[in-house]
A and B are shown apart, each in its own frame.
Chain A
Amino acid sequence: MAVPDIRRGTAADDQRRPGERLRAVIRTRVFLLVSLVAVLVAMYLAGLAAGAGGLRLLALTAWGLMLGGVIALGSIGLSLVYGVMKFPNFSHGALVTLGAYVSFSVMHLLPPGSTLRPLSFGYEFLVALVVAMPVVGLVALAIDRVVYRRLRRTGAHLVFFAMASLAMAFFLRSLIYLIWGPDFHFYYPGQANPALQLPLGIRIRADQLFILALAFVLVGAVYGLLARTRLGKAMRATADNPDLAQIRGIDTERVIAWTWMLGGGLAAAGGVMYGLSSQLRPEMGFWLLLPMFAASIMGGIGNPQGALLAALIIGIAHQVSTSFLDPTYGPAVAFVLMVLTLLIRPQGLLGRTEG
């Protein structure tokens, strides 16, 4: 008896219902990219309609790239932790804030050096950054050992991890309020920081270029780590299938510990750079949380290059939207792009489908 094989052959593909065929097209990354670009174009048009000139939109785009750098720095760590731990870490925003404040305190312990022109900061700022990264990494690791590891041992549902991370977000935030108070801080208060004059009337501070460059460097470093090193491969294996990773001889608890160290360190870098680009506030990480989640999801969870690409898109959309929207709606713009991604292709721009 001949059994028709529905899985083989291209003829079978054509027998799918039109709805299924349409869905298959919609779920491709090309379609997602086209949709995101369409939203961006619509935003530019709305800006023009609201009376913003071409040069103004160009300047907003440049600033958007700079903002994207800040968002990207915050999202790499979030995306990494999300990929390996499989739960949305709502305390990542608080880790970002903590990084900014730790480096702030460390910087004030150091003798101020001369400013590295044209940048606005001196060597002590860079030292503080390098100190803050492992400190916040250790805080993230400590939280894992006390809270999440216990949940892992009992095989708790994802919801309890998410809930615990929400609790830790408020815990860290209250600590920050207690230690540093509710006031705003600046790394270099009262210091003028002239912008560089670029062609076409674009004015950008050297700091912003530094932030964007740092985002690219760190994304490259994390990419290299994941693709080339033993630890990186172990992280990918653990993200893919933790049980099998153990069977293959990987000490998954050690991999998870390193993931938190890295995630916390990257969060700190994001916070320091966010603080440099604006100011230090206890709520800064919370404000960044939605754009960071949007970038991680849009880029594909666990994918640092994707997070960078998505962060740049979100940054541009955010800035361009200010030409026709109140700037405080920034998180809403990120949110809309995120929901669009989730509806079209939940794996994101560079994420992979399973199977």
Chain B
Amino acid sequence: MSQVLFLKGLMLGIALAFLLPILLPPGPRWRVPGGILLGLAAGLGIAASVPPGYLSYLVGFLTMASLYGLLALGLNTQWGYTGHLNFGVAGFFAVGAFTSALVTIEAPSGLAAQYTQVLFGLEMPFLVGVLAAALVSGVVALIVAVPVLRLRLDFLAIATIGVAEIIRLVFQNERWLANGPQPLRGIPQPGRCLFESRPCEWLPDSLAWVVEPLSTRDYTAFYLMVVAAFLALGYALIERACRSPWGRMLRAVRDEEASAAMNGKNVPFARIQAFVVGAMVMGVAGALYAHYTVAIDYSHFHALFGTFLVWIMLMLGGSGNHRGAILGAILVWGVWAGTAFLANALEPVLAAIHPELPGRAQYVRWLLVSLLLAAVVLFRPQGLLPEEMRVSNYLRGPRGR
């Protein structure tokens, strides 16, 4: 096994070591260490046995699935735990992406400034960008929440669609903000220098040989590791928060608002908190997306990708269950990716029906995914992993008995 292959396998393994403990069924003590070991072994094993093309496909797939996992996690905090019908996920996703991009890019100068206009380019490190994305998304959510969260459930859904649409319009029209309708390019990637011919300044010379054979083509595996780490961190924090008294209060507000209020809980404040926290997670997902694709524009934050897919993921996985949300994200992203192959396979059939149809094969994917959501709503509304009625960390749930 070559050094490059080993390193790639190791990076994939670390990413899987972050993901597997989340997905393994809760309960057994070996879940976390077992998941980590299994992940590392699987990563190295896959790298050793799979052709390189498939390996990079797998890495790309897992990166997007983990990004969507974060979005589903954020939505679950809003909908699954608090009952906010947010149909505007794409808006917070976009705010996070553009914020982190603006915080980290270099402000264009000279000739480039004529083609790319930005409000500012701060050249800050990646982590600062992600943090800023979370903060700005949270602030936007707060501004939206104060008037809108008081509304009836169905009005809230309509209003959040509107919010997402307006956010998209702003990024589409306002050239001075983030280059308007033109893509915003050159978003830096964390740790990319490790893969360049001249390694990072902070890397000790004694270790340079480790990364020396890596090329920029191999960077995606490193970024997968970053995204998986954020997902694991987000999952751990939110799962912990939701099992704390705070999470119990949110569920109480969702299910029995009046009795929650009578028990002295500040209901409006609790509802706003959950909405803001969820939006912050979505903002982080947006930031990670921006640094993944390097160039973003408003069209990436279409309701189909930004909102609709996330809802299918959460509904399929099981709302109110964070593990289900992440499982749903991986499954639905798998279906979405799989339908691409299906659409390709269908091309001859489509061509037989009408000569123009093969060019429209991508819409078959949308068709299938929309039917998937309808099927989930009709036949398994509680999702694959239904909500667990756990009272506290310290009490065994109904299943533990």
A contact residues vs B (CB 8 Å cutoff): 87-88, 90, 147, 150-151, 156, 158-160, 162-164, 166-171, 173-175, 177-178, 181-182, 286, 289-290, 293, 297, 326, 328-329, 331-332, 335, 338-339, 342-343, 346
CB of B374 closer than 8 Å to a CB of A: yes
Chain B residues near A339: list those with CB within 8 A. 147-148, 159, 162
**Residue of chain A at shortest CB distance from B144:** A339
The interface residues of chain A lying within 8 Å CB-to-CB of B370 are: 167-171, 174
With contacts A182-B360, A326-B173, A331-B169 known, is A163 near B367, CB below 8 A? no
The minimal Cβ–Cβ distance linking B123 to chain A, given in whole angstroms, is 30
Is the pair A171, B154 in contact by a Cβ cutoff of 8 Å?
no
24 A–B contacts, CB within 8 A, in A order: A88-B157, A151-B378, A159-B85, A162-B157, A164-B377, A166-B308, A167-B373, A173-B366, A178-B364, A178-B367, A182-B360, A297-B155, A328-B169, A328-B172, A328-B173, A329-B166, A331-B166, A331-B169, A338-B159, A339-B159, A339-B162, A342-B155, A346-B151, A346-B152
Report B106-148 CB contacts with A as 1/0, cut-off 8 Å: 0000000000000000000000000000000000000000011
- Supposing A88-B154, A178-B360 touch, asked if A332 and B165 sit within 8 A by C-beta, the answer is yes
Instruction: Establish whether residues A147 and B165, one from each chain, have CB atoms under 8 Å apart when the complex forms.
Output: no
A-chain residues with CB within 8 Å of residue B18 when the two chains form the complex: none
Measured CA separation A56–B381 after assembly (Å): 53
Known contacts A159-B153, A182-B360: A290-B165 contact under CB 8 Å: yes
- Which residues of chain A are near B151, meaning CB under 8 Å? 342, 346
- CB-based contact B162/A158 at 8 Å: no
Number of interface residues of B (CB under 8 A): 42
Cross-chain contact B157 with A178 (CB below 8 angstroms): no
How many A-B Cβ pairs are below 8 Å?
A: 114
**CA A150 – CA B378 in complex, angstroms?**
7
Chain A: which residue is nearest B159 at the CB level?
A: A339
Taking CB atoms, residues of chain A closer than 8 Å to B304 are 170
CB contact list, B350-399 vs A, under 8 A: 356-357, 359-360, 363-364, 366-367, 369-371, 373-374, 377-378, 381
In angstroms, Cα B367 to Cα A83, docked, is: 29
Determine the distance from Cα of A147 to Cα of B377 in the docked complex, in whole angstroms: 9
Closest 5 CB pairs of A and B: A335-B162, A170-B370, A174-B366, A167-B373, A174-B367
Q: CA separation between A163 and B150, bound complex, in Å?
A: 21
- Which residues of B (282-313) have their CB < 8 Å from a CB of A? 303-304, 308, 311
Residue of A nearest to B368 (CB): A174
Closest CB in chain A relative to B122 CB, distance in Å: 27
Q: How far is the CB of B362 from chain A (nearest CB, A)?
A: 8
Residues of B within 8 A of A167 (CB): 370-371, 373-374, 377
B42 at the interface (CB under 8 A from A): no
Q: How far is the CA of A163 from the CA of B311 in the complex (A)?
A: 9
Are B366 and A290 in touch, CB under 8 angstroms? no
Q: Is B229 an interface residue (CB 8 A)?
A: no
Query: Contact between B169 and A162 (Cβ–Cβ < 8 Å)?
Result: no
Q: Is A171 touching B173 in the complex (CB atoms < 8 A)?
A: no
Task: For B363, list chain A residues within 8 Å (CB).
Answer: 174, 177-178
Q: How many angstroms between the C-alpha atoms of A213 and B48 in the bound complex? A: 72
The residues in B between 5 and 60 inclusive whose CB is less than 8 angstroms from any CB of A are none
- Decide if B87 is an interface residue (CB 8 Å cutoff): yes
**Of all chain B residues, which has the CB nearest A156?**
B381
- CB nearest to B163 among chain A residues: A335
List of A residues within 8 angstroms of B85 by Cβ:
159, 162
B162–A160 CB distance below 8 A:
no
| B-chain residues with CB within 8 Å of residue A177 when the two chains form the complex | 360, 363, 366
Interchain CA distance A158-B158 in the complex, whole Å: 13
A290 x B161 contact (CB < 8 A): yes
Q: Is the CB of B357 within 8 A of A160?
A: no
User: Per a CB cutoff under 8 Å, which of A87, A147, A156, A170 touches B369?
Assistant: A170
Contact B377 A163 (CB under 8 A): yes
- CB closest chain-A residue, reference B153: A158
| Residue from A90, A293, A338 with most neighbouring chain B CB atoms (10 Å) | A293
Contact of B173 with A166 in the complex, beta carbons under 8 Å: no
Chain A CB within 8 A of B315 CB = yes
